[in-house]
Structure formats: C-alpha cells, structure tokens
Amino acid sequence: MFTAMLYAVLVLGILGLVIGVGLAVASKVFYVYVDPLVLEIDEALPGANCGGCGMPGCGANAEAIVAGKASPNSCVAGGAELAEVIAAILGVSVSATEPDFARPGCYYGTKDAETKFVYEGIQDCRAAAMINGGMKECSVGCLGLGSCVKACPFGALVMGEDGLPQVIQEKCTGCGTCERICPKGIINMSSVTRRIMKEYTTNDCTTPCQRACPAGIDIRGYVGLIAEEKFEEAVLVIKERNPFPAVIGRICPHPCETECRRNLVDEAVAINYCKRFAADYEMKSGKRILPYKAPETGKRVAVAGGGIQGLTAAFFLARLGHAPTVLEATDAMGGLLRTAIPKNRLSQKVFDWEIQGILQMGVDSQLNTALGRDTSVAQLLADGYDAVFAAPGGWDGRLSRPEDKEPKQVLPNTNLLIDVAKDGNSVTWGDNAIFVGGGAAALDIVAQCKAKEKALVLRGEADEELTALAEEKGVKLIARSAVTRLFGEDESLKQVEIMDLATGVKTVAPCDNLVLGSGRAPEMVFIRKPLESNGTEPPALPSEGPVEWIGVPPYKKPTDGFGPGLLSSADPMSDYSAAVEAIGAGRRAAASVHMVMNGEDAFLPGNVVTPSVYVQDVYVLEAVSAVPREIMPLQKEGATDAPELEKGYPQSKAVSEASRCLQCGLICYQKDKAA
C-alpha cells in the first residue's frame, strides 16, 4: 500500500516537473510582449469599445496612439480631460485642434424635388447602392434609407421630414462612422480647413451655377438664405469662398448666370445682384460678419502682393490658422482695381471696407515694401517666415510704371522675356540660362544672351525646322517639358527641376538665370529647404548657414488639359480676365502654401470637375412657371450724393429675386411653389 502511494506521488511529481518545464518553454516560445505604454493608455480609456475612434475597440486605439497613428484626443467618448491624461502618459502636450463634424451633401429630399425615384424595396443604403446604383436616378444623391442614422454611435443623426439625414452638431463627435458607412459619400467630415481645401469633384452634388463660378461659391446656398431673409447667414456662405462680396457684386461678369437653369424657362436668377445685396446689408449694418477660423498653427507666411489675389490668399491663410503678412509695393492695398475700375462702378469706400475686413481676420500689412526691391525671398525666410507666396498681380512688362517703384526682377534671378528683349545687357547672366516658352520667336533672344550654356524649354513638340534653327544658334532645346521647381541659396537661383511631360521623369539642371515667355512673373510658393530626415522624425530646418530655399508653383485651376510646371495652359500669361478669377487663384494659393508647409505636394484631386468633364444635368424643366427678373434700379441722372450708377436691390426686390432660384442639385430642382 505504502509502495503504491509512494509510486503515485513520484509519478505526479515527475509529471508536474515535465508540465512545469513545458510551460516554461512555451512561455519563452510563445511570449507576446505588450508595451507598458499601451497597457497604461488602454486602462485610461473608458473601455466603451464604441468604435467612434475608427478602431475596433479601445485596445486597438491604445496601440494606434502609441504607434503615432492616432492622436491623444482620438477617443471621442473621453473628452478633453482624457486627452490630457493620455498626453501626460506619452510625455507630450495637447494643442488646440480643429473639430470635425458631419455634413450632409444633399440639399433636399423627394418631397421638394421635381425628379424621379424608383423604389427597389431594400432598406439598407449599401445594399441598395449595389443594385442598379440604388433607388435614385441621380448617381450622386442620397439614397435616403437611413443607414448612417442607424450606424451613428452617439445619436447625432436623424432622418428629417425631407427624407435626408440631419446632423445634431451638439452630439456629433466627428468620429466619421457615418462617412464610412455611406456608400455614396453624401456625408463627409467637415471643418474650416477641409472646406477651404475643398475642390469640387464628380462625387459632389454641385449646381450648374456653382460649377461655372471661378471662385466656386455655394450660390444656391446663399441665394436660398436671402429668399428666407437670413441675410447674415448668406454673407457667411459667400465668404466661405469670396472675401470680396461687395466688390464682386459690382464688377463680376457673372458666368454663373449663363449656366443658370432658369434660362430654360425665362431668365437667369440675378445671382450677382443678390450677392451685392447681401454684402451691402452687412456694410450698412456696420456689423462685420467674419467667417470661422481654424486654431492657430504658429506659422508665419509672407504674401508679396497686395492685389486681389494676394489679399485673398492672406484671408484664407488666416482662416487656416496661419499668421499672414501682406507686403504691398505701393502706398495702398488693392492692386489694379485701384485704378482700373471706374469709380461709378466701384467706389473706393466699398473697396476699403472689404480690405479692412480682410485685415480684421488677423492679416498684417506692410506698405511700400516690394519683393526684389526692399526685401527678398531669402531675407523673409531668414527673418522667420515659414513660407513666402509671391502674388505678382496684373502689372506686367507691357505696362509702364515708375522704375523707382517697381523692380523688373521680383523673383530670384527670374526675368521676363519682354524685359530681356528690351535690355539684355542689364542682366548678369552667369554660366547657365534657361528660357521657358516663347517658341521660335524666343530663339533670337536666347541666342543673344551671354550665358555659356543656353536652353529653351518648350511644353510642346519641336519640329525639324525649329530644331535645326536652335542647333545653328547654339541653343539646347528641351521639348515636351516643364519647369516644376526652383532651388536656390540666399539671393541666387542655383538649379531648376525639369519634368518630361510625356514620361513624368524629373531631372535637375544648373541654372543661374530663368527667363519666362509671359507678361508677368509667375505665382510661386517658397519655403526653406529642410534637412534630411532620419526617418523617425519630421525633417527639421537648418538653424544657421546660408538660406537654401525651394520654390514651387501653386496647384492649377481646374481646367481642361492643364499640366504641371510654369506656363501651363491654366496659368495667366498676363493677368486674370476678372477679379473673381483672381479670388479663386488666391484660395488655391493659400491651400498650396498650407500643403507645402506641411511637407505635401500641392495637387488637384484626380476626379476634379473641369469644363469638359461629364456630369449629369437636365435640359428641360417641368412644372416651372415663368417669373420675370427683378430690374436693378439706377441712380437718377445728376445725382451727387451716391456716385455709383446702380443703387442696388432694396430688400423686397432681393428677396423676390432670390425666390426665383430653383435650389438646384445635380439633376434635381425644387418644385414650383406657384404650381
């Protein structure tokens, strides 16, 4: 008996030893290391696993925070205090960030739309979208089945009576669940920065007038608000894209009205007169209506040029949270509009009011300060500006101006072909000169320059005759190419980047002088060349030594056949044909500066809407009654108290005219209220 018990104990002991050794080995073989930071942050998180952060649970979010893929404030359920706790665990601080919120992109539902619907009997947007594109004829619009409402973890969405989702901003945390769940991209995260950077694509529900507007103003939005007598809200919608509503309301050629759908029935809505009414309402009230701004970034930007484009760029840079300073060569802001527009069309009082509003957004100004005369790109970067945007405006080599007020050379070692043709002997050529544009007409000028090496860059092909002529004159031809980047040190241009437009291959060539075959200097964004990154931290800027800089053009306007680099078909060769085009360019420039300062390439999305891009539209209007357009009242002949020719709409006329708007969508429009 005793022997049997001893035997059993011995067997159990040996078995325990084997199991213990096995477990020890297994713990080494299958050991999974858990970062203590992840554990600490996971414990700090609320454990709700709501998915609002976009991660499958709090544990995954903790791992993403430690890996740098999510921010300390990524937990939408925890609030600001939790963000501070997580930041303290990581040893970092939390700065002000711009909140995101959901924003539907469809205007109204079936009740108010004169459009056709086909119900397929499926109650989920994602499933409906997979069957014949969903239930609506419109390829962009909301399917209206409420999948986003069901998916929202915070109850921030409800379906309205119009069959569209409505956002309760007080409850919206910006988690993005609705954006991820919507198969049509109707609901998107919105913020000041996102709206400024936005370019309209084929995925957006845009209106014909909006697509025709060079500034991309939400026309149906502000005209509809005027019809509802919400005038202050209308001003805010206009200033989302246009900081000069009173100016543009007086001088715009209004291409939007050419595309207005009411032309299919009677006359276009007087869109521009409505804009002027809203702007005049603000001006007469004496209460400045300023749009929202993103949190401050601490970055400073110098904007060289106080014309419409430069002031617009500064306005949007301020809204993006940066600190812009406008440098104006003369003693007054405004550029060509100061002298080019008759006073009976645009009074200086109105112009000054709008400029003052831009300065009130947090824009500094320095008058009598010209780039190339009083300061330079390198000096501004050395003085602590994070970027310099050159907005040369409409003054070009064909317009006479006092020599003591305007230098010929605005950008480092960059000249205009017309200036070189007039006086090439005044240029210090150096060893390498690169000419851009001008074709065969430029060859004689290129051949006469005193640089050792001369090249002519052409965007198109070079025929045999041009090639032979260039070879005869000792000029190197670089066809199907564009200059896409400048490199310099202190006050000197050193190199240019040239892209082969056929292959996309980029090469860097030495360049002491760049000569452009256009009537004005190009728009350019300059930043200091960053140091090489070690791969774990963002590249830093050098603190001493010469100022090495990089210059890139802002991204181009959405147009047909546009290409990268200087002197593309989308670039102005002399000036913009209208102030509203300069406003659009100013916003794009601000967006480009923002991208470049953040280490990104400035570019347009691939599916951007251009004049020839196919989008759905309608060519016949049903059940729309003809309503006469309101006539703009004029001043009486000989009136001296109000020098402008046009009085502007009184409130009754503005509301009546705005009510003619059909509140169009892509192919939908509101039912006739009179029908």
Residue 9 confidence class, pLDDT cut points 50, 70, 90: low
Cβ 513 vs Cβ 417: under 8 Å = no
Which is more confident, 347 or 128? 347
Mean pLDDT of 144-159: 90
- Tell me if 178 is assigned to some domain: yes
Our CA angle for 588, 178, 173, nearest 5°, is 80
- Over 80: is that where the pLDDT of 641 sits? no
- Tell me if 647 is assigned to some domain: yes
Mean pLDDT of 475-482: 93
- Tell me if 628 is assigned to some domain: yes
Does 507 lie in the same domain as 421?
yes
- Over 70: is that where the pLDDT of 492 sits? yes
- Tell me if 199 is assigned to some domain: no
Spatial distance between the Cα atoms of 582 and 396, rounded to a whole number of angstroms: 15
Q: What is the pLDDT of residue 408?
A: 57
Q: What share of the chain is helix, strand, coil (3-state, %, to 5)?
A: 35, 15, 55
Residue 632 confidence class, pLDDT cut points 50, 70, 90: very high
Q: What is the pLDDT of residue 80?
A: 64
Does 302 lie in the same domain as 391?
yes
Residue 27 confidence class, pLDDT cut points 50, 70, 90: low
Q: What is the pLDDT of residue 250?
A: 95
Does 524 lie in the same domain as 510?
no
Cβ 398 vs Cβ 422: under 8 Å = no
- Over 60: is that where the pLDDT of 534 sits? no
Our CA angle for 541, 544, 549, nearest 5°, is 50
Q: What is the pLDDT of residue 32?
A: 53
Spatial distance between the Cα atoms of 391 and 394, rounded to a whole number of angstroms: 9
Identify the CA nearest to 125 among candidates 104, 105, 142.
Answer: 142
Segment 451-456 long-range contacts (CB within 8 Å, at least 24 positions apart): 451/512, 451/513, 453/510, 455/509
- Over 50: is that where the pLDDT of 405 sits? no
- Over 60: is that where the pLDDT of 591 sits? yes
DSSP 247-312: HHHHH---HHHHT-GGGGTS----HHHHHHHHHHHHHHHT-------PPP---EEEEE--SHHHHH
Tokens of residue 383, six digits: 């003085």
* Integer Rg of the chain from CA: 31
Tokens of residue 281, six digits: 């309402």
Does 429 lie in the same domain as 498?
yes
Does 181 lie in the same domain as 126?
yes
Q: Which residues of 399-427 are buried (b: 16+ CB within 10 A; e: fewer)?
A: eeeeeeeeebbbbbbbbbbbbbbeeeeeb
Residue 50 DSSP one-character state: -
Does 379 lie in the same domain as 512?
no
Cβ 186 vs Cβ 173: under 8 Å = no
Task: Please give the torsion angle defined by the CA atoms of residues 624, 626, 632 and 633, in that order, rounded to the nearest 10 degrees.
Answer: -130
Mean pLDDT of 272-280: 97
* Domain range for 75: 36-90
- Tell me if 197 is assigned to some domain: no
Cβ 186 vs Cβ 135: under 8 Å = no
Q: Of 592, 612, 632, which residue is a domain's last?
A: 612
- Over 60: is that where the pLDDT of 402 sits? no
Q: What is the pLDDT of residue 366?
A: 96
Q: Of 190, 220, 243, which residue is a domain's last?
A: 190
- Tell me if 401 is assigned to some domain: no
In this structure, of 133-137, 186-190, 310-314, 415-419, the range with the lowest mean pLDDT score is 133-137
Max avg pLDDT among 127-131, 146-150, 172-176, 642-646:
146-150
Q: What is the pLDDT of residue 482?
A: 94
Tens of pLDDT, residues 95-105: 555 666 677 77
Tens of pLDDT, residues 175-228: 888 988 898 888 888 888 889 999 998 888 999 999 999 999 999 999 999 999
Q: What is the pLDDT of residue 407?
A: 47
The model carries a pTM of: 0.84
- Over 90: is that where the pLDDT of 586 sits? yes
Mean pLDDT of 646-670: 93
Largest CA distance in the chain: 133
Residue 232 confidence class, pLDDT cut points 50, 70, 90: very high
Domain count, the chain: 6
Q: Rounded to the nearest 10 degrees, what angle do helices 308-319 and 579-597 cross at?
A: 40
Tokens of residue 364, six digits: 């500094």
| % pLDDT > 70, the chain | 83
Name the residue with tokens 């347009």.
604
Give the three-class secondary structure for 358: helix
- Over 90: is that where the pLDDT of 50 sits? no
Q: CATH number for the domain including 56?
A: 1.10.15.40
Cβ neighbour number for residue 616 with a 10 Å cutoff: 15
In this structure, of 243-252, 349-358, 388-397, 443-452, the range with the lowest mean pLDDT score is 388-397
Does 557 lie in the same domain as 491?
no
- Tell me if 673 is assigned to some domain: no
Q: What is the pLDDT of residue 164?
A: 86
Mean pLDDT of 600-613: 85
Q: What is the pLDDT of residue 31?
A: 53
One-letter amino acid for residue 77 of the chain: A
Q: What is the pLDDT of residue 403?
A: 46
The alpha-helical segments, DSSP class H, found in 131-171 are: 147-151
- Over 50: is that where the pLDDT of 404 sits? no
Q: Of 90, 112, 128, which residue is a domain's last?
A: 90
CA dihedral sign of residues 337, 340, 345, 347: positive
Q: CATH number for the domain including 237?
A: 1.10.1060.10
End-to-end alpha carbon distance in the chain:
107
Pairing of β 513-516 and β 432-436: parallel
- Over 50: is that where the pLDDT of 567 sits? yes
Spatial distance between the Cα atoms of 107 and 204, rounded to a whole number of angstroms: 11
Does 280 lie in the same domain as 242?
yes
Mean pLDDT of 334-347: 87
Cβ neighbour number for residue 552 with a 10 Å cutoff: 21
Our CA angle for 217, 221, 224, nearest 5°, is 135
Residue 521: phi and psi, rounded to 5, are -70, 150
Max avg pLDDT among 263-267, 389-393, 612-616:
263-267
- Tell me if 509 is assigned to some domain: yes
Cβ neighbour number for residue 379 with a 10 Å cutoff: 16
Residue 643, judged by CB atoms within 10 A of its CB (0-12, 13-18, 19+), counts as middle
Does 116 lie in the same domain as 174?
yes
Tens of pLDDT, residues 351-377: 999 999 999 999 999 999 999 889 999
Task: Name every residue whose Cβ is closer than 8 Å to that of residue 591 and which is 6 or more positions away in sequence.
Answer: 196, 197, 316, 554, 555, 602
CA distances from 250 to 4, 89, 445, 651 (A): 110, 57, 43, 17
Does 233 lie in the same domain as 173?
no
Identify the CA nearest to 204 among candidates 668, 669, 666.
Answer: 666
Which is more confident, 549 or 132? 549
Mean pLDDT of 452-480: 90
Cβ 255 vs Cβ 212: under 8 Å = yes
Spatial distance between the Cα atoms of 137 and 502, rounded to a whole number of angstroms: 39
Q: What is the pLDDT of residue 286?
A: 86
- Over 60: is that where the pLDDT of 248 sits? yes
- Over 60: is that where the pLDDT of 675 sits? no
Q: To the nearest whole number, what is the mean pLDDT of the chain?
A: 84
One-letter amino acid for residue 641 of the chain: D
Mean pLDDT of 626-638: 86
Spatial distance between the Cα atoms of 330 and 343, rounded to a whole number of angstroms: 20
Does 304 lie in the same domain as 270?
no
Residue 45 confidence class, pLDDT cut points 50, 70, 90: confident
Q: What is the pLDDT of residue 465?
A: 87
- Over 70: is that where the pLDDT of 336 sits? yes
Does 468 lie in the same domain as 507?
yes
Cβ 248 vs Cβ 311: under 8 Å = no
Q: CATH number for the domain including 526?
A: 3.50.50.60
H or E stretch including 433? Answer: strand 432-436
One-letter amino acid for residue 647 of the chain: K
- Over 60: is that where the pLDDT of 115 sits? no
- Over 50: is that where the pLDDT of 429 sits? yes
